[in-house]
Structure 1
Amino acid sequence: MSYAKITAQGAYVSEKAMNNQDFEKIVDTSDEWIQQRTGIIERRIAKDNEYTSDLSYKAVLDLQQNYNIDLSDVDMIINATLTPDYKTPSVASYIQAKLGLENTGAIDINAACAGFTYGLNIANGLITSGQNKKILVIGSETLSKITDYTDRNTCILFGDGAGAFLVEYSEDDPSFITSSFGSDGNKGGNLYCSELSKEMFNEELENPGFVVQNGRGVYKWAVSTVPKIVSNTLDKSSYTIDDLDWFVPHSANARMIESICEKSKIQKDQTLMSLAHYGNTSSATIPLSINLAISENKIKKDDLLMLVGFGGGLTYSSVLIKWSI
């Protein structure tokens, strides 16, 4: 039987940091206000000539260097992003070209903040079905390029970054235990970014080309939905909440995550976030959180992790994994 195993991980963030004091100069806000309501201290911002494919590629190079991995036989690249360099070609195709891979599939997926967990679950399905043997899964964003820096409700939240996992065929040591997916498209108007259509939400859209968020609407949906996702995912397995070593939610807002943990009966010290110094990086928050935890020697081999991505769509995707590195 074919199984899928996570064998390497890497990450990249730009050198440029934008802290809360920087926002005090451009909008009516303060460091204290931002930290109290979001938990964010700073975020990384891509250079003007640095795009999502650049961040993705550097995250893959970090993965390769960290684990001394040969990537010449990678047969699929999945890049989760809502900020591709172009509508086409895909970011994944850029990575394929930069790595010089000749026999490799390449696709981008857009599930916003749930993108990375969607990508992992797609990779698991492709490998366990026998379609592929070695897949790069990348979550990467340059949200600064679609952020309206005159909108104090959203501009303080977003940052840029990338994280990458390598998922490989294994005969007897699977990383993936179970997963779940879902969407509530009727609530899509709570978080959107539009360039073309103005009809979907039956109103004139604000700030075409920029990300627009109804923070209260997203908060209410996430706090009521994510605990159910955690419970439903565990119900598909033989594990309970007490068996979890680490909870890795999308790092959207620290106050939101605290409420989710309280409702899910998950301890705060079991929760991994990348929010404080990277901000909300959408599809990159989960791999960045894991990369930080590994650098701090928190995650150990065979630890049980629950990953839950949730956001624009409104979509969600979870995956329960045994850490195999």
Structure 2
Amino acid sequence: MIRRSIVVGTGHYLPERVVENSWFEERLDTNDEWIRSRSGIERRHFAADGQTTSDLAIRAAKAALENAGLTADEIDGIVLATSTPDFTFPAVATMVQSGLGMTRGFAYDVQAVCAGFVFALANADAMLRAGMANRLLVIGAETFSRIMDWTDRSTCVLFGDGAGAVILEARDSAGTSDDRGILSSDLHSDGTYRDLLYVDGGVSTTGTAGQLRMQGNLVFRHAVEKLTKTAHAALDKAGLETSDVNWLVPHQANKRIISGTAQKMGLPMEKVVLTVADHGNTSAASIPLALSIANGENRFKPGDVLVTEAIGGGLSWGSVVLRW
């Protein structure tokens, strides 16, 4: 018998402000067709003035708790992925902890940009399997609208704000690929590609938050290959084949990257959860957002095999295989 991390609840929150592609036409040399054809994005949500990453995360966490039928005092800890924290410190997770009324357990942030939720999920799984906790809240939350260069049409049209959350619970399992829960994870980083996707500011450099910079064509070249390889590696670790996969739940960065990865994996688009058109790239929030939306639509059936994968600044990339 071994301990497995089972998903027992999902939730998400999107800011009320919806920004259609037409909003950018009035401000930049771009148009709806250009944005859709290159990214698949039609609209995204932007946080309101004064609305912070922790505000979004708290709303998503409350939704996940309600979905699981749990209260905050039944959670042992929070692992939160973000690259857009409210403050340099404390961790956004501690503000979520306070916002939920939790006075026990632990809370900390993970920073791996768009791959952050995959890293946070693998981290939480390791703690649950090791017996360090029995039930964890794993959140991805971002306010990327705060770090956009609104004169750069190649980046500012791509990103949005939002938060998603899952609750993992440790349960004894047989230790086979037929178990429910997280079956494997595969994580990678390579700092030599730092300049492909980064923010040009920080505490020890400029003393400012900075703005996002990206060499999109080069990121695209790395994305499909690396995402396909990490997904296959995680499936191998789980003792599964691509033919066993019921759903691919990818980081929602770009429809072309998603379709290219699915094609290389031999998966039809009918098996891919797509939310990028309505939300844009919400970085670490995109996978838990997609999980929550698909779960709310009852698309996942008990026993379904899901593969989540993401790549982000660092470069950092990875995948998690789980059985619903």
- Runs of at least 5 residues in structure 1 that lack an aligned partner in the other structure: 200-204
- Once the 2 structures are TM-superposed, how far is the Cα of residue 197 of structure 1 from its aligned partner? 7.7
* Paired position in structure 1 for 2:176: none
The answer to whether the Cα contact below 8 Å between 2:4 and 2:183 also exists between their aligned partners in 1 is: no
Distance 1:39 1:72 in 2: 40
Q: How many angstroms apart in 2 are the aligned matches of 1:156 and 1:148?
A: 10
- Distance of 2:69 and 2:124 partners within structure 1: 21
| Counterpart in the other structure of 1:251 | 252
2:76 match: 75
Aligned to 1:47: 48
Partner SS for 1:2: strand
What amino acid does structure 2 have at the position aligned with 1:182?
A: H
Q: Counterparts of 1:300 and 1:71 in 2: how far apart (Å)?
A: 26
Distance 2:182 2:260 in 1: 27
Please give the alpha-carbon distance, in whole angstroms, between the structure 2 residues aligned to 1:133 and 1:197.
35
Structure 2 CA distance, aligned partners of 1:145 and 1:308?
25
* Mapped pair 1:291 → 2:292: yes
Checking the alignment, whether the CA contact within 8 Å between 1:191 and 1:314 is kept in structure 2 is yes
SS at match of 2:72: coil
Q: Distance between the aligned counterparts of 1:3 and 1:40, measured in 2? A: 36
Q: TM-score under structure 1 normalisation? A: 0.94
- Any idea what SS the aligned residue of 2:104 has? coil
RMSD: 1.6
Q: Using the TM superposition, give the Cα deviation of residue 309 of structure 1 relative to its aligned residue in structure 2, in angstroms.
A: 1.7
1:217-296 equivalence runs, <5 A = 217-296=218-297
- The answer to whether structure 1 residue 216 and structure 2 residue 228 are counterparts is no
- Which residue of structure 2 lines up, in the alignment, with residue 156 of structure 1? 157
Asked if 1:182 corresponds to 2:188, the answer is yes
Segments of 4+ moved more than 3 angstroms: 196-199
**Are the aligned partners of 2:113 and 2:283 in contact in 1 as well (CA < 8 Å)?**
yes
Could you tell me how far 1:105 is from its partner in structure 2? Answer: 0.6
Which residue does the alignment assign to 1:125?
126
Give the Cα separation in 2 of the matches to 1:179 and 1:274. Answer: 23
Once residues 131 and 292 of structure 1 are traced to their aligned partners in structure 2, the CA distance between those partners, rounded to angstroms, is 29
| 1:190-237 CA distance string (max 9 Å, x none) | 0001323898xxxxx9x9701111100110010221111122111212
Cα displacement string for residues 162-210 of structure 1 (whole angstroms, at most 9, x for unaligned residues): 00011112123640111101012111110001323898xxxxx9x9701
Matched, 1:90 2:91: yes
- Match of 1:153, SS state, is coil
2:137 maps to which residue? 136
Count of residues in Structure 1 that have an aligned counterpart in Structure 2: 317
Partner of 1:202: none
Matched with 1:17 is 18
- Please give the per-residue CA displacement for 1:35-79, whole angstroms capped at 9, x wherever unaligned: 111000000000011000000000011112233212213121111
Q: Which has the larger displacement, 21-30 or 167-176?
A: 167-176
Separation in 2 of the partners of 1:59 and 1:196?
27
Structure 1 residues 299 and 160, CA gap change in structure 2 (3 angstroms): same
Contiguous gaps of at least 5 residues in structure 2: 174-178
The one-letter code of the counterpart of 1:6 is V
Taking the aligned partners of 1:198 and 1:66, their CA distance within structure 2 comes to: 41
Between the aligned partners of 1:273 and 1:51, the Cα distance in structure 2 is 26
Change (3 A) 1:197 1:70: closer
Give the Cα–Cα distance (whole angstroms) in 1 for the partners of residues 103 and 249 of structure 2: 34
Q: In the alignment, residue 125 of structure 1 is paired with which amino acid?
A: A
Cα distance in structure 2, aligned partners of 1:145 and 1:80: 17
1:28 aligns with 2:34: no
Q: In 2, distance between residues paired with 1:161 and 1:213?
A: 21
Q: TM-score, normalised by structure 2?
A: 0.94
Cα offset, 1:93, TM superposition = 0.5
Give the conservation status (yes or no) of the 8 Å contact 1:274–1:286.
no
Following the alignment from structure 2 to structure 1, what is the Cα–Cα distance between the partners of residues 236 and 257?
Answer: 23
Question: Offset at 1:263?
Answer: 1.5
Q: Does 244-253 or 188-197 show the bigger shift? A: 188-197
Distance 1:237 1:130 in 2: 21
